[in-house]
């Protein structure tokens, strides 16, 4: 399996509390591969949400199963990203 395979799998990881994928919700903001490291930036509607670590861990588990070291960070969604996110929750 390669980077593309991992990206395809990550794109289908569901939010822990919402029956939609992180990609559909706009939470997967950035994925970068650098040698044996995969870096992911998660866009969240609110940086204080309590399940943010669960969201990151769901991707971490998959990345590590492919043999990658996992690095991540969070950022707040833009106004447009947040509108799209909220529209999907209806």
Looking at domain 3-78, its CATH superfamily turns out to be Fe-S cluster assembly (FSCA) (3.30.300.130)
The β-bridge relationship of strands 69-76 and 37-44 is: parallel
Read off the pLDDT of residues 9-32 as tens digits, 9 standing for 90 and up: 999 999 999 999 999 999 999 999
Q: Residue 16 in contact with residue 49, Cβ under 8 Å?
A: no
Alpha carbons 27 and 21: distance in angstroms, whole number? 9
What is the pLDDT confidence band of residue 76, given thresholds at 50, 70 and 90?
very high
pLDDT band at residue 3 under the 50/70/90 scheme = confident
pTM of the model: 0.93
Confidence (pLDDT) at 13: 96
């Amino acid at each position: 399996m390669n980077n593309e395979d991992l990206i395809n799998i990550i794109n289908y990881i569901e939010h822990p509390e919402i029956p939609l994928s992180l990609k559909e919700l706009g939470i997967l903001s950035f994925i970068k591969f650098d040698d044996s490291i995969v870096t992911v930036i998660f866009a969240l509607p609110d940086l204080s949400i309590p399940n943010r670590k669960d969201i990151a861990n769901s991707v971490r588990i998959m990345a590590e199963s492919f043999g990658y070291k996992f690095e991540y960070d969070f950022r707040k969604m833009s106004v447009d990203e947040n509108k799209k996110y909220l529209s999907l929750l209806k």
